[in-house]
Amino acid sequence: MGLDVTGNLVLFDQNNSSVWQSFDHPTDTLVLGQSLCRGKNLSAKPSNTKWPAARIYFSAELDGLQYSFKPAAYTQVFQATTPSTYRTTTCYAFVNGSLGFPDKIFSLPLAKSVQLMRLESDGHLRLYEMGIPHLELLMVLDVLSIAMKFCDYPLACGDYGVCNNGQCSCPSLSHFRFQDERHPDAGCTPLTSISCNHVHTHQLIPLYNVSYFSYDRFLSLATQGTPQRVCMHSCLVDCSCKAVLFQKSSYRDDYGNCLLLSEENLILLTEDLTGPVLAFFKIQDDHSEKRTIITAISSTVKCKKDVEPLFDGIPGTPKCFSFYELKVATRNFSMKLGVGGFGSVFKGTIGKETIAVKRLEGVDQGMEEFLAEVKTIGRIHQLNLVRLVGFCAEKSHRLLVYEYLCNGSLDKWIFHTSPVFTLSWKTRQKADIYSFGIVMVEIICGRENLDESQPEESIHLISLLQEKARFGQLSDLVDSASNDMKFHMDEVIEAMKLAMWCLQVDSSRRPLMSTVAKVLEGVMSMEAAPDCTFVPSFVSSNAHIVGLTSSYVPSESHLSGPW
């Protein structure tokens, strides 16, 4: 077995003949000198755990390189053909300056150092180069950008996403929400999950000006000459169908081309203001009893009427629930989770979603003031804050609806009944100082403390900080993407030294939070430069072993929060 200079791992037999080589089995990456041959492909690793197998492929064909999407069978998205009319080989090499050697299908920047090409989970084929002197991978080129725009990528806006001019949206805010509002390209999800056990409650809602991401592919995949009613009925009775696209024929409006989309195919939608295609999305109607429907509708109408002046036209604001809806959801407020300073919290269920309903008590607040606060809270989306999903402001009732956290209240973990799990106040205070130092360093450096995408020697940021501090090279760690930090480098270095003070291994040498605040305000200065020891010696000496630090449990004197 041998590893050559290009990175190709080769196995030899007893006659020293090659019997297997890694270059013949590409995954998601090509390195300089490697070829992609017919029958082989690059496959992007799925970003969503819902899809265990790859769905984006980049393959070698007889007449060129093909970019494909694979829900059930290959669906060609894009093909770059060779300029030659005759080929004597079926392999396309990644060489310095081009992809497709001997025929230059894609021109690439000449390599200044080590280069690699990776088909990534969002479907983009990116060229990377090893940066000097920090030995970090830098993106050089989005290879397919010369042929594909943002909305041409099937995964551009994720499941249920609709792409328009490089922007992602959901089919309908009334029935769908973003999976992650901070990242619209992560896709959307129905507000109510579709159940195959209640097919009779499925409905199709229209969505105008939406088409399949590729009109040519739509025509080739659609069933032609289908009555519209038959097309829609076929989707309603098939639980795997989540949406349907229908193109009216030129001679009859009720006949045309029908395409049923499963959940795997729901990433392939783009906005089309001129196209003749109609789109319908399947939703679940959970109201099975007529009385519930009438009551809910009348309550919702009243709720909307009461709050509409403040919330009208504001996307993403919390949903208004009627008191009756929350009473039913919580089984008449029978499942109490706990009691706070302003009222009790109850567990409830709406559809298949579990919620926590806080019923405010003793709050003397007018309607307009209450709704203004709800609007403000509802716009806050932060990873460590419980999300407000709705409210009720009916008559004297004031209720807030939050997402339900299955691990319970934070106080059960801070003030655990077992002394083994309980943190003393001294421990919590010192850990908070250390954590503040970590946050400061991450902000200044523009990266996380543990980042396995970094080169091996740079994975652990605090170990790297310790090394740079000892050699007086702190400026090397400052986020290069921040011009503001570059223009105020002296102040940034001082802030980094303050963070280093908070990161001392010996907890007795860390400052109080009040001292930190005074230093930041400029009314106090650090008495001396902090010691350059932030990592226990047994950890820093083994920092090159990936994953070793994750098992380190600090004592009170170390309190190293990130581990």
The confidence score (pLDDT) of residue 292 equals 37
Structure tokens at 301: 């109408």
* CA-wise closest residue to 138 among 146, 125, 129, 127: 129
Which tokens is 50 given?
């819902």
Residue 60: beta bridge partners?
A: 65
**Distance between CA atoms of residues 337 and 411, nearest Å:** 13
Q: What gap in Å lies between CA 385 and CA 367, rounded to an integer? A: 25
Whole-number pLDDT of residue 411: 56
| pTM listed for this prediction | 0.46
479 neighbors 417 (Cβ within 8 angstroms): no
Determine if residue 358 is labeled as part of a ligand binding site. yes
Phi, psi dihedral angles at 278 (to 5 degrees): -105, 140
DSSP string, 405-429: -TT--THHHHT-SSTTTPPPHHHHH
Domain 290-408 fold: Phosphorylase Kinase; domain 1 (3.30.200)
Q: What is the pLDDT of residue 310?
A: 42
- pLDDT reported for residue 555: 37
**Burial code of 343-381, b = ≥16 C-beta within 10 A, e = fewer?**
bebbbbebeeeebbbbbbeeeeeeeeebbeebbeebeee
Q: Which CATH class is domain 425-551?
A: mainly alpha
- C-alpha–C-alpha distance, residues 211 and 279, integer Å: 7
Give residues with Cβ within 8 angstroms of 39, minimum separation 6: 60
Q: Give the per-residue pLDDT at 528.
A: 74
pLDDT of residue 493: 92
In terms of Cβ atoms closer than 10 Å to its own Cβ (0-12, 13-18, 19+), residue 271 is middle
- Strand 64-69 relative to strand 75-81, pairing: antiparallel
Give the pLDDT confidence score for residue 529 in this predicted structure: 73
Beta bridge partners of 388: 402
For the chain, which ranges sit under pLDDT 70? Answer: 47-54, 63, 70-89, 101-104, 208-220, 264-276, 286-317, 341, 362-366, 379-384, 409-431, 527, 535-563
Question: In terms of CATH, what superfamily is 2-148?
Answer: Bulb-type lectin domain (2.90.10.10)
β-sheet with 98-101: strand ranges across: 35-37, 91-95, 98-101, 106-107
Element housing 353 (H / E): strand 353-360
pLDDT at 498: 92
Pairwise CA distance, residues 470 & 115, whole Å: 32
**Torsion angles phi and psi, residue 73, rounded to 5:** -140, 160
Element (H, E) at 307: helix 290-311
Of residues 226, 229, 213, 197, the one with CA closest to residue 261: 213
Q: What DSSP line would sit under 433-500, residue for residue?
A: HHHHHHHHHHHHHTS-SB-TTS-GGGSBHHHHHHHHHHTT-GGGGS-TT-HHHHHTHHHHHHHHHHHH
Domain boundaries, the chain: 2-148, 162-284, 290-408, 425-551
**Which positions ≥6 away from 452 have C-beta within 8 Å?**
459, 546
Peptide bond into 46 cis (omega under 30): no
Q: How far apart are CA 334 and CA 336, in angstroms?
A: 6
pLDDT at residue 116, as a whole number: 92
